[in-house]
A and B are shown apart, each in its own frame.
Chain A
Amino acid sequence: MWTQSSEGHKLIQEISKGIVMEVAPEEMDLFDELVMEYFQDPTPPDLTAKPKDDPLGFGLGEVLIAATPAVAAMVDVVLNYLMNEIVKVAQGESAELIKRKIKDLFNPKKEEKIDKSDEDDVVPLTKEQLEQVKKLARKQAIKFGIGPDKAEKMANALIGLLALS
């Protein structure tokens, strides 16, 4: 999948950074490490894992939920969804163009347009698609151990980025 390539990772990292800055600014110090941790192991944390009973250990082994990997996972799943949606409406277009359209969805103003033809224009998402994006994002965040309220906030931040475009 494209999101697993270095280019995809870069995009995920870029989008996630903005969201993390908004919902969990205290994690910015460790942002790069936490995102890398997600890329290396994209599975959700095992919240039911039993603590290890090591001698003179703390004995609880509480799993601390970081927002950054959850945001990265959220962005990952949303990018894949958007890619499928764009492919549906833009069949026959080059992969490169599709990627650019996805990028434009998130950041159209900063990206320099190479070709200003009609087919390069940003295809706005429908209300249903936005709803679906939010639902997917929220679900993925919860899967990564984020509480419902914070997951909602994170999904809204993501939608905000899309809506701004």
Chain B
Amino acid sequence: MENFQLINHRLLGDSLLISAQKHPSKLVASTNDGEYTYQELLDHSVALASALLERGLQRGDRVAIYMDNSWPTLYSLYSVLLAGGVFVMINPQTKADKLAYILNDSDAVCLLTDIQLENDFIPILSGLPKLSHVVYSSEEKVFPRGVISIEHIDKVLKNVSPSDFLKNRSISSDLAALIYTSGSTGSPKGVMHTHLSMLFALNSLIEYLRISEEHRILNVLPLSFDYGLYQLLMVVHLGATLILEKSFAFPSLIFRRILEEEVTVFPGVPTIFSMLLSSHERSKLCFPTVTRVTNTAAALPADFIPTLKEIFPNALVYKMYGLTECKRVCYLEPELVDKKPKSVGKAIPGTEVLLLSPDGQPVKAGGVGILHVRGPHVMLGYWKQKELSEVMLKDDIYPNQKILCTHDWFKMDDDGLLYFVGRSDDIIKTRGEKVSPVEVENILYSIEGIKEAAVVGVTDAILGQSIKAFVSLKESSSLNDKKIKKLCVAKLENYMVPKEVMIMDSLPKTANGKIDKKQLV
């Protein structure tokens, strides 16, 4: 390790190796568990990487990280990268069935998790043939010996013998992460990102956000959400500092942290900004240290901006748009936020976008077209899903190149700035998360007593879209909307649970007998 000198960032984990070499005693993160330096992050990551290798991790093996925003999540992620593995972040709200699906689909060999989630991960372990190790944090418990070893993370770290943790060192075109996202078929799909695509995206974001190692970035978003994940990746890459919170649930705690920690970057989504605005209405807020405010996931209502500028008087406000398949598509230069309040701007640095008709022809100036994205940030495809990958990655006009079809309708103004018009498929985007109506419908159909189900997105000023379910019931059924929601809560992440459930005698049908969603919207 002492002889290891890196100059170039070739792999995502190099961010940590280089930053720790440069300023070992600088704080990388202030979390609810405590404050940690770059040296501590490196030491913990190296120790866990060595432990993963001792447990047989091979280059390219997938390791799932199913935890909330905590210190162990930070070093877990870098340990997987250093050990040559591929990390799979899983939202801690994910329930047992879907967790099992993702672990099986990704062929994860190791699960890094937290004991608080045991009710979801313990019952599924017997159905995971590829998984051999579980390492968990928080309170220690005794588990009976089984085929899968279940160990506490502190013991694992304590008993590890130093090893050449870089022996599996990847190359930059190797996969770095699978990021699961909801798909139109109802099952989540693993978006394949390489070290190259992630490092490229990272540098592009840093460039247009104009941030450097002095910045102190607040993250209240789940690290399993790529918007949250990239806050961490940017921090470590820059040698900056992350102020990590588990959520925005208690806004006043966050407000205190912003002031005490002198936060400079505040990444949010419209639900967070709306809570911020309603707090400001109750008692005035002002965060002068913040110099960057970013929004993505759903459009930031234009009338939020004047109040946001009161709350953050010294901040550049960034409106952005993206999708997991290429991390981010575009951003609006903050200087234009008043002049072009409805636009999401232009392609991020080093990439380009074009508007094409459904048959692949360029649309004429001012026309509406489907947004396509070119650049090194585009995913390789969906893990083990050739056909679905082809729906998103189309042949480019240049030979042997691929272009990403976002399936979103956009138009472009005379200045080349983009405006979102609507989606061309029926995926719902709520709170910035993609929700497949089929996935929710499948859960509804699994409920005893439901005869028919249809799920649609309804326009919502804050959420982007909210989820509405229409169902019809079998005659004997005594279900009501609350009971149905309750059964959904047990199977789905909170954001996927229909906000409204409407019970109808029967659902409207098209001529060929399919449920006609158009009549329901």
Asked if A and B bind, the verdict is no
